[in-house]
Structure formats: structure tokens, C-alpha cells
Amino acid sequence: MARLRLVLMLLLAGAISLGAGLGLFWLVSQMPCEGEQLACNIDDAVGGYAAIIWAGLGLVAFGIALLVASKRKALAITAIILLAPLRFFVGGHLLEGWRYVGFYPYADFRSFVSKVAPPASVVLVQYLILRFAMGRTPAAAAA
């Protein structure tokens, strides 16, 4: 019964987080594009696909973490691990701006938000839903 509850929690968290990520993707894609429209479309596509990928990856990672150790600390560590590639992407994105002559703050901000915000929101929503569903103690989550 506990495994069925775990699977249902994971599926519910995955569906809600995917909806939140795609909703944020749609919201960011409504921001006006400054510069080439093709570049904005590519940035939007990267963010949308990343949200879908991270939703599936999050289901698997959080499922394994909860099977091995059903503690809040395991959820937090898993969320940090899932966000690690995004942190490296952010660092690369910040360094990339130094290669070009000129500074375009709005275009860089839009590009950054459209690529990073949807997958990060997917991971954070999954983490928060599963953390809330677990309750205060592991015994409360199993009941």
C-alpha cells in the first residue's frame, strides 16, 4: 500500500510540475523579443523541452530517492542534484556574455529566463509537493 501511495504521489507531482513548467514556459514566451525572432524561438524551445525532460527525470530521481530513503533530506539532496546541471548552464550563460561586444540586458535576461526558469520550476514544484506529501516524519508519510 505504501508503494502504491508513493507511485501516486510521484505521478501527481509530475503532472502538476509539468503543468507549472509549461505554464511558465508559455508565460515567458509571451515576453517581447528584442533582436532576432529566431533566436527567441530557439530559446523558448530549449526551455520548453527542458521542462518536459526535467519532469520525467525528476519523477525517476525522486522515485529512486524515496524508495531508498523516505526522508526529507533525501528529497532535498535529489533536488540539488537535479538543479546542478542548470547551475552550470547559468554559469556558462553568464560567461558567454563576455565574448560579445556590447551589452544587451533585456535580450540576455529573456534568453536566460526562457531557458532556465521552466526546468527549475519543474524541479522545485516536484520537491515541494513531495515534501508536503511526506508529512513531518517518515511515520506520518507511511500512514
Q: With b meaning 16 or more CB within 10 Å and e meaning fewer, what string describes 74-99?
A: bbeebbeebbeebeebeeeeeeeeee
Pull the grid cell for residue 40: 527567441
pLDDT 10s digits, 95-139: 766 666 667 778 888 888 898 999 999 999 999 999 988 876 555
Q: Is the pTM of this model over 0.75?
A: yes
Q: d(Cα 23, Cα 45) in Å, to the nearest integer?
A: 13
pLDDT at position 102 is 63
Structural domains of the chain, count: 1
Q: Domain range spanning residue 101?
A: 2-142
